[in-house]
Amino acid sequence: MTNETEVAVLFADVVGSTRLYEVLGDHQARDMILTCVDIMRDATERNRGNVIKTIGDEILAIFPTADDAVNAAGEMQQDIGAHPGLLVQGQHVAIRIGCHYGPVVLENKDIFGSSVHTANRMTSQAKAGQIILTTDTVERLSPEWRAVTRQIDVTPLRGRSEEVELYEVLWQQEDATSMLPSIAVGALTGHRPMSVRLHYLGREYLLDDSKESLTLGRAEENDIVVKGPLISRTHARVEMARNKVVLVDQSTNGSFVTAQDGQEAFVRRDSVALQGQGLIGLGHLPVAGSPEAIRYSVED
């Protein structure tokens, strides 16, 4: 029976398994890899996922939502990194993970389609300890998970004319805190801004409980379409997450923020908190008084 559906497709595999066999011998290396596979399977099942198959040191799994997949991926990394039996010559065995959300064909307990290839490509781009996502996956994440992702690269993909953007999930707490210090601190206060207003070319855009994220860039599918030679297709997003308002840059040339008091900030594939009022410039400094400047106002 054939069934078409959209899911989060995830690959996870053990990094350097060939070396494990060389260092430990066949039996011990195999036991260690099986332990990793069991951990990855358990994390999948805890998060509503389904392991489609295991291939040596690798698993292929699907999840109903992007959040489920990233929750499972983070648990896989944490559990394998903390397992006392996965040490080799003083170093922990590591895994790498790639994920893509898209359409697949389910047939005879297996899956097919370009989404499977794309997810596998994300895994091949990942390094030890990394979780790599496509834009399609990031766009379906909750604000909390999106706040701890960052664009790190682009890569060509067979069958696509445009390059695919790669995002890393900062699943380790210390990484997430260093990336978004204002968010981590703000989450402890319990205070949440009521709304955020953005003004561009005479139009107002509102973020509140009904809409918690706005994308900005030159592509027509963005919430706020901004044209210019320095602007990426999906350049940045403004979102309400963890009791803060943040501008998350995803671009090649970065984003600029000028606060009402004149303080300036530049971010490139990173995040900055927005407070009070100010201006946002994509790829260049915003010019006060210009009708093309993006104005923001955070309202408590």
Which are the contacts of 27, defined by CB distance < 8 A and separation ≥ 6?
none
Outline where the chain has alpha helix (H). Answer: 17-24, 26-46, 66-82, 114-125, 135-138, 143-146, 173-179, 181-186
Q: CA-CA distance, 115 to 142, in Å (whole number)?
A: 21
- Say whether both 127 and 214 belong to one domain: no
pLDDT at 87 over 50: yes
Question: Where residue 284 sits, what CATH number does that domain have?
Answer: 2.60.200.20
User: How would residue 187 be classed by pLDDT, with cut points 50, 70 and 90?
Assistant: very low
- Say whether both 205 and 158 belong to one domain: no
Mean pLDDT within 190-194 = 54
* Mutual angle of helices 26-46 and 17-24, in 10-degree steps: 140
Q: CA-CA distance, 285 to 266, in Å (whole number)?
A: 9
Q: CA-CA distance, 29 to 13, in Å (whole number)?
A: 14
pLDDT at 297 over 90: yes
Residue 188 gets the label, from left (phi > 0), alpha (psi -120 to 50) or beta, of alpha
- Say whether both 174 and 58 belong to one domain: yes
Show which of 115, 148, 179 is a domain's final residue: 179
Show which of 127, 149, 179 is a domain's final residue: 179
**Quick one: pLDDT at residue 185?**
30
Q: CA-CA distance, 73 to 21, in Å (whole number)?
A: 25
Tell me the pLDDT tens digit for each residue of 97-106: 999 999 999 9
Tell me the pLDDT tens digit for each residue of 63-83: 999 999 999 999 999 999 989
Outline where 164-250 has alpha helix (H). Answer: 173-179, 181-186
- As a whole number of angstroms, the longest Cα–Cα distance in the chain is 70
Which are the contacts of 163, defined by CB distance < 8 A and separation ≥ 6?
154, 155, 156, 157
Which are the contacts of 139, defined by CB distance < 8 A and separation ≥ 6?
none
CB contact at 8 A, 111 and 102? no
- Say whether both 19 and 163 belong to one domain: yes
Average pLDDT of the chain is 87
CA–chain centroid gap for 209, Å, is 22
User: How would residue 292 be classed by pLDDT, with cut points 50, 70 and 90?
Assistant: confident
Could you tell me what percent of the chain has a pLDDT over 90? 57
Show which of 118, 152, 179 is a domain's final residue: 179
Greater confidence, 53 or 183? Answer: 53
Nearest 5°: the CA angle 277, 220, 118 is 105
Could you tell me what percent of the chain has a pLDDT over 70? 90
User: How would residue 291 be classed by pLDDT, with cut points 50, 70 and 90?
Assistant: confident
For the ranges 19-28, 190-199, 240-249, the maximum mean pLDDT occurs at 19-28
Mean pLDDT within 154-177 = 73
- Say whether both 269 and 168 belong to one domain: no
- Say whether both 249 and 201 belong to one domain: yes
- Say whether both 50 and 163 belong to one domain: yes
**Quick one: pLDDT at residue 259?**
93
Tell me the pLDDT tens digit for each residue of 216-262: 999 999 999 999 888 988 899 999 866 789 998 888 788 999 999 88
Question: Where residue 74 sits, what CATH number does that domain have?
Answer: 3.30.70.1230
**Quick one: pLDDT at residue 184?**
32
Q: How far is CA 290 from CA 200, 229, 253, 265, 280, in A?
A: 10, 18, 20, 19, 12
- Say whether both 170 and 242 belong to one domain: no
Q: CA-CA distance, 46 to 75, in Å (whole number)?
A: 10
- Say whether both 154 and 92 belong to one domain: yes
Mean pLDDT within 43-71 = 96
**Quick one: pLDDT at residue 1?**
54
Tell me the residue range of the domain where 212 lies. Answer: 185-299
Tell me the pLDDT tens digit for each residue of 114-123: 999 999 999 9
Instruction: Give the strands of the sheet with 294-299, arranged side by side.
Output: 203-207, 195-200, 294-299, 277-282, 255-259, 264-267
- Say whether both 19 and 140 belong to one domain: yes
CB contact at 8 A, 298 and 277? yes
Based on the structure, what is the number of domains in the chain? 2
Tell me the pLDDT tens digit for each residue of 124-150: 999 999 999 999 999 999 888 888 888
- Say whether both 163 and 286 belong to one domain: no
- Say whether both 46 and 127 belong to one domain: yes
Greater confidence, 182 or 105? Answer: 105
Tell me the CB-side half-sphere exposure of residue 210, using CA atoms within 13 A. 2
Which are the contacts of 289, defined by CB distance < 8 A and separation ≥ 6?
none
